[in-house]
Amino acid sequence: MKPSTKNKAEGKFHEMKGKVKVKAGQLTHNPDLEAEGSVEKVAGKIQGIIGRVEKAIQQ
């Protein structure tokens, strides 16, 4: 698997995982879990962007 594709896939995974953590934190009234989910969601978006940049550079 190309690094750009791997970064995009992992980024999407972290983004979804972050969304689940945010929702779980909201449901359990756990602000730490909610904050952790927000950070992971943003990190996933950044990793996805890195994958798209790598793909653009390769072409």
Q: Residue 4 has what pLDDT?
A: 85
How many structural domains compose the chain? 1
Q: Residue 25 has what pLDDT?
A: 97
| DSSP assignments along 12-58, one per residue | HHHHHHHHHHHHHHHHTT-HHHHHHHHHHHHHHHHHHHHHHHHHHHH
Q: Residue 2 has what pLDDT?
A: 83
Q: Domain span at residue 16?
A: 3-58
pLDDT tens string 2-59: 888 899 999 999 999 999 999 999 999 999 999 999 999 999 999 999 999 998 998 7
Q: Residue 3 has what pLDDT?
A: 85
